[in-house]
């Protein structure tokens, strides 16, 4: 699967330990080196700002998509290749999903998880067949992964839908896994039936 543009969801805060910003910076640099365009929420705060700055500094292309109402709060980044200012959070998420060939979640808070689980549920329904990866820095997401396993063992989550979320502790491995991703047959079949 060729990944020309990746959408990254991440915290509007930087987290309590330097490792989070370090990995956000590493991911931004790696995307630039691989000539993969970064799509993200367009802010200049927290891990979002670190990620975008690193990608730009390494010569990469960065597209931000930000709701008008958040321009002040998330400090719309002025140095991006392109900043799309949209009318709502819904439009932002739809636009980011439309632009990207795959999705990565770095550590973040409620917004990051909301965005991650939305693209996962869209994958589960076959609305897209793009890879979704969790970049698990410093085991931050270990409880989330455990919860997914519990979802399977308790019968709320189909094992094949659990597999929709790729998982690695470093950007190089995660990008490799995403590049080798084959969507589950179920998702592909639903996708074909619905002709989405």
Strand order in the sheet with 5-9: 82-86, 62-67, 37-40, 5-9, 102-105, 132-135, 165-168
How far apart, in Å, are the Cα atoms of 155 and each of 27, 75, 86, 118, 161?
A: 35, 42, 39, 20, 12
From 18-26, 109-117, 129-137, 178-186, span contacting ligand AMP (CB under 6 A): 109-117
Note whether 161 binds ligand AMP by CB under 6 A: no
111 binds ligand AMP (CB under 6 A): yes
> Binding to ligand AMP (CB under 6 A): which residues in 89-108?
89, 93, 108
Residue with tokens 């995307």: 31
Instruction: Supply the minimum distance, in Å, between the C-beta of residue 70 and ligand AMP.
Output: 6
Residue nearest ligand AMP by beta-carbon distance: 111
- Return the residue of 14, 25, 29, 112 that touches ligand AMP, per CB under 6 A: 112
The SS3 call for residue 78 is coil
Contact between 41 and ligand AMP (CB under 6 A)? yes
70 lies in the binding site for ligand AMP (CB under 6 A)? yes
Q: What's the rounded Cα separation, in Å, for the pair 21 and 15?
A: 8
Closer residue to ligand AMP, CB minimum distance, 114 or 192: 114
Q: Which helix (H) or strand (E) holds 105?
A: strand 102-105
CA 92 to chain centre: 13
43 counts as binding ligand AMP under rule CB under 6 A: yes
Query: What do you get for the CA distance between the two ends of the chain, in Å?
Result: 19
State yes or no: residue 115 binds ligand AMP (CB under 6 A). Answer: yes
Instruction: Candidates 22-30, 112-120, 123-131, 136-144: pick the segment binding ligand AMP (CB under 6 A).
Output: 112-120
C-alpha distances in Å from residue 29, one per residue of 4, 13, 59, 139: 15, 19, 8, 22
Nearer to ligand AMP, 40 or 181 (CB): 40
Q: Which residues are near ligand AMP by CB under 6 A?
A: 11-13, 41, 43, 70, 74, 89, 93, 108-112, 114-115
């Amino acid at each position: 699967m060729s990944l020309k543009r990746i959408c990254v969801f991440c915290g509007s805060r930087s987290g309590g330990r330097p490792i989070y910003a370090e990995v956000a910076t590493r991911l931004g640099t790696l995307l630039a080196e691989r000539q993969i365009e970064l799509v993200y929420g367009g802010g200049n705060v927290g891990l979002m700002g670190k990620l975008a700055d690193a990608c730009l500094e390494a010569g990469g292309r960065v597209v931000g998509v930000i709701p008008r109402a958040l321009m002040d709060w998330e400090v719309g980044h002025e140095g991006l290749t392109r900043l799309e200012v949209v009318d709502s959070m819904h439009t932002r998420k739809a636009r980011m999903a439309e632009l990207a060939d795959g999705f990565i979640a770095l550590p973040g808070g409620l917004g990051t998880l909301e965005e991650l689980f939305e693209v996962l549920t869209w994958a589960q329904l076959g609305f897209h067949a793009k890879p979704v990866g969790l970049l698990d820095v410093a085991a931050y997401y270990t409880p989330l992964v455990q919860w997914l396993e519990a979802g399977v063992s308790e019968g709320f989550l189909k094992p094949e839908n659990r597999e929709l979320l790729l998982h690695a502790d470093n950007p190089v491995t995660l990008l490799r896994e995403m590049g080798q991703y084959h969507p589950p047959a179920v998702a592909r079949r639903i996708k074909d039936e619905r002709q989405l």
